[in-house]
Structure 1
Amino acid sequence: MAVFLKNDYTVLCMFLLLPTLCYSNNYVSRATYYSTPDGKGTPSGACGYGDYGKDVNSGQVFAASKRLYKNGAGCGACYQVRCKDKGLCSEEGTKVVVTDSGEGPGTDFILSYRAYAKLAKQPNMAKHLFAKGVVEVEYRRVSCKYGGNLMLKINEHSKYPNYLAIVVMNQGGATDILAVEVYEEETQEWISMRRSYGAVFDLPNPPNGELKVRFLTSAGAETKWVQSDKAVIPAEWEAGTTIETDIQLS
């Protein structure tokens, strides 16, 4: 099992280091990597993102341990990670996105090939990190800063009008999404969707008409509902469609 140590570098960061290099509230773990033909992520990741999970953040993604995957609530979260070998690794490290689930002995991060290479101080040093296979790292949760509003995708397995599944994408903030509900105008009630897996939520026999959506979000100890001001899922939705909501998560 990995050991997680919390270190407070706040004062040091305020006075000695540039903000982009500060790792306040750090945790310690280990990281390894996996390979794909293009060095990016895999479209078959456990978060259910498909090709988005391969290409997001320029392919700098990772499969998270159970601790960080959080039964899917951790999908889309961003972490700043740097390895602790000062001779080989950069001071800043790299930012990576959770798109999959997996862990090895004592590792919380199975990085894509591109992400693992970015840990190196210089590009020509990456080969030495790959030779190690596993490196000690420290990490912290950060905002993804995608810009724009929260996006939803109607999952390809959806079948209008009897089965609706959505994928929550680019959540971007330092928050986890714990639950999703849609609003039924006829009964004026919110109906819970089931977390099918990862970032995919589904609902058999969804309400008719346009649908508002709301999300139960968690940031640390605080949880709150965040909802769309207007309907975001059209009445005659189609599988594979990507929809921009009017929601931004901090």
Structure 2
Amino acid sequence: MAMLYSFVPMAFFMSLLVRAMSAGIDRTWYEAHATFYGDMNGGGTMQGACGYGNLFEQGYGLQTTALSTALFNDGFACGSCYEIKCVNDPQWCIKGAGSIKVTATNLCPPNNNDGWCNPPRKHFNLSMKMFTTIAEYKAGNISVQYRRVPCIKTGGVKFELKGNPNWLLVLVYNVGNAGDISSVSIKGSRSNEWNQMKHNWGENWNTCLNLVGQALSFQVTTSDGKKLEFNNVAPANWQFRQTYQSKQNF
């Protein structure tokens, strides 16, 4: 009976672990380091290698980080969310600060921050506001532990359209749950065929199809394998340099 009692909780734990892994959520804490950039108001953190613009207008605010090359994954990690806590340094870690949650919105390039962002190092270059939430400003560089967490977003996935009639560039953002995207397909209202878009840079995806005058639908797959279709997100009279919001999210 005692063996049965110990087996059931373990089986229950394993089922939870499998479900968490299948949902793309890794509960393991990993070691890394963190610095900061910009100022307390977010100056210097806007734009960046993920292709986002005004992070306040797009819903990311100051809860952001740049990733080292080892984490950035050629831009495919853009939009992913992390929980981070300061560890192993009572002099600089703020006691009782707990952890912060941030979204990846930029790249910390190699040969920056005294080489801390060089491969194969895993490093977070946080906004100043986030860094000083868990550590003293004077620390400069701290040891941290991090893990991936689901992204909590408000409203539907958004699609910003740029380019010209023969080259459409789409920024996909405000993506919930996994947050980062592995593939995007597009379809005009005059066709039943999905067309794979090319990963251009950051969270920008492009196609050379001329889809002017057609309502646009998108098929988005996130890094955890989940796929959603966003039908007729942009109406037939869509315009370049406009953003269209869907009614659903991951």
Band the TM-score falls in, shorter-chain normalisation: 0.7 to 0.9
Relative to 1, partners in 2 of residues 1:38 and 1:54: Cα closer, same or farther, differing over 3 Å? Answer: farther
DSSP-derived class of the 1:70 partner: helix
- Following superposition, the deviation at residue 98 of structure 1 comes to 0.5
1:47 aligns with 2:53: no
1:109 deviates by 0.1
**1:99 pairs with 2:135:** no
Q: Deviations over 1:76-102 (max 9, x none)?
A: 111110110345334522111100011
Partner residue, 2:236 = 235
Q: 1:136-151 alignment to 2 at 5 Å? A: 136-151=143-158
Once the 2 structures are TM-superposed, how far is the Cα of residue 132 of structure 1 from its aligned partner? 2.2
How far apart, CA to CA, are the structure 1 residues paired with 2:101 and 2:46?
Answer: 19
Please show how residues 134-213 of structure 1 align to structure 2 within 5 Å.
134-155=141-162, 158-159=163-164, 161-208=165-212, 209-213=214-218
Q: Does 1:217 align with 2:222?
A: yes
8 Å contact kept, 2:67–2:125: yes
Larger RCO (alpha carbons 8 Å, 6+ apart): 2
Q: Distance in 2 between matches of 1:42 and 1:148?
A: 23
C-alpha contact (below 8 Å) 1:42/1:51 kept by paired residues: no
Deviation (angstroms), 1:174: 2.1
CA offset at residue 247 of structure 1? 2.9
| CA separation of 1:217 and 1:43: change in aligned 2, threshold 3 A | same
Cα RMSD over matched residues? Answer: 2.4
Q: Corresponding residue for 2:245? A: 244
The answer to whether the Cα contact below 8 Å between 1:180 and 1:213 also exists between their aligned partners in 2 is yes
Could you tell me which runs of 5 or more consecutive residues in structure 2 were left unpaired when the two chains were aligned: 1-12, 14-25, 110-114
Determine if contact 2:55/2:61 at 8 Å carries over to the other structure.
no
Question: Which aligned pairs between 1:12-161 and structure 2 lie closer than 5 A?
Answer: 24-36=27-39, 38-40=41-43, 42-52=45-55, 56-84=59-87, 85-86=89-90, 88-89=93-94, 90-103=96-109, 104-105=115-116, 106-120=121-135, 126=136, 130-155=137-162, 158-159=163-164, 161=165
Check conservation: 2:70, 2:122, Cα contact below 8 A: no
TM (norm. structure 2) is 0.76
d(CA) in 2 for partners of 1:60 and 1:143?
Answer: 14
Partner of 2:17: none
Q: Is the 8 A contact 1:40 1:54 kept in 2?
A: no
C-alpha distance in 1 between matches for 2:40 and 2:29 = 32
- In structure 2, the CA distance between the partners of 1:24 and 1:194, relative to structure 1 (3 Å rule), is closer
Q: TM-score when scaled to structure 1? A: 0.76
| Cα displacement (A) at 1:107 | 4.6
Q: Secondary structure in 1 aligned to 2:33?
A: strand
What SS class does the counterpart of residue 153 from structure 1 fall into? Answer: strand
Which deviates the most, 90-99 or 54-63? 54-63
The 3 A distance-change label for structure 1 pair 57 and 118 is: farther
Q: Which amino acid is 2:222 matched to? A: T
